[in-house]
Structure 1
């Protein structure tokens, strides 16, 4: 063992079915293959990993040839850059030939395939992302990633400003990885380079910014990272408006009290939505999906009318109209901006309503009103809506007599 190596105690990553097959196929006959990147980092931290990427000295054509011999399907997803996706039992694995930069200019780089693991590691963004794991269980580190991982330090490889100039998205990736893996004070050189290069953020596509921001907001230390971005003067330019940092911090504490998972869109609303115009601005600036926009729009709709003293009947009516997800969205937003704290028992009771009360189905249909003599047409739809409103106002009665009375009243009012 050297200072640049460490044996991985948990072999789950190496015994993962698809990865094991690919390593056996490529790590032989004069070629070498290793697991690289985030999966290695997370395995060392004891955290789950979702994707396994593999690097190899084998050229793309050789990867494809060996895959065919092993009856594995290969997809040339980025073969000009050395990447082939192999499918093992339906699961995709990206396999990339080692590369080294010949010339770099902005996001584009002229690269050449190589066989030098150090040169390949030095192309990556952060030291903790440049670790590689060989089939014998040894983690190889060429850039100080193991020490940084132990210290929970997010640090660029080489000169931070130069790495950012290669791709300005790395500014957001720095804050995202700091939110996910960092502890303590951020790396000073990295933070300074991010601030110096902030103008480059304006040239990024909205889709790329959206992806990084939503990942950041789900991270365990999102509050600390968002605060750091604000202090660095970066967040306002990304969101295009005010960030409500104190309320955002309370919101994450409320999630803990409620046992709620970190929902990126819900957190985005807590951070940056006050009125409906905010939801529309974020939709445009981050190119959110229509469904994401609708959730933010729903959060903005009169959240200030919800308070800890909300009557149980009114809470049930809100849950019925919004459904469990949007009910939680709006309730938690109002709670985070209320005078009460995250442990307030009244808010907790309101938040627990979806678990205690199953929203009923409206028991009337158009046919019920037609059977009472109301003809088809606009009046029928209006009467049905009015009947539903009356049923909600009566606190969702299930008694047939009460339901019949509601139907009769609606028909009487709308009959010509």
Structure 2
């Protein structure tokens, strides 16, 4: 067995006593390799030189001929250890025990460091206001939980929804708010009852869903679409639990889905740095926007008047595309001054279309003037990334933010 194979076997034995994710598994393996002093390029034991056997004479001489039973030239006859010697642990055994103890100490130390470094991810990933009334707020987070909060009065947590085994990435209410969908890294989409907290149904195509949206039409509330890690947009029917359509044209994971044009069409963005427009239920995109200068746009919001799409671009800009007919980039409306590269910070508009808001990687809330595109105000909102900002539709002086520091804040 090669040294690396021994390490892998030992890693598996170690992992039998603790349940860890693949990322930590790789870390433990790397630590053990390091602890045992193995080089990264060492793929196995060095090929040993061929051992020579003692020549056994001529085959015609029956007394001196050894044939295949001849001993090796460097072979030594070793006597069996005495009973006293046999009862004492060998130096090899002691070294083995010492090495295992050392490896466990190193692994424990590195895992503690790993946990400290990843604490920043135990935060809120998305927030959604209750339809029409906006008196409740739905949040999903990296601790696998979904929570429903009161926006008014005591602002208490009204209900916690537990059912996902990995971080929840996105949530979406239906039109009445009685049900909502959640998308998580455990590869499941789940339908929940908002009032009872019960999981009604679950859906999966064995890929990670990155975003999920109900069809907003009243007569299509049993249908929803989800952008997947395998480049597809998948459409499910809640009634049957079956996939009824696939939109397979993107060349990268699908990050956003936004309904436009009175819900007859929807816009999707992807890691392939393109924007595509689809007719509902037709699996071929009728509009494809991709320029050499374009970057990935992992967060998209439709304006209150339905005319514009605000797209968070990974080159630290918010780009504005028309949301009707031509879907052209509005070059006069580009918002700059914040740092978001690498983060899907959600953008939003004020209800009267006077301002645009967005969080950034530094935890700041940025507010721009819509007409002039100038940065109007900046607030230090969170200790970590400010991942989402929502403007309250009725109390127009209030903005709700959430961040990777695990906090949701209401600003007036």
TM over 0.5: no
Structure with higher RCO (Cα < 8 A, 6+ apart) = 1
User: What TM-score does the superposition give when structure 2 sets the normalisation length?
Assistant: 0.23
Higher helix share: 1
User: What TM-score does the superposition give when structure 1 sets the normalisation length?
Assistant: 0.23
Higher strand share: 2
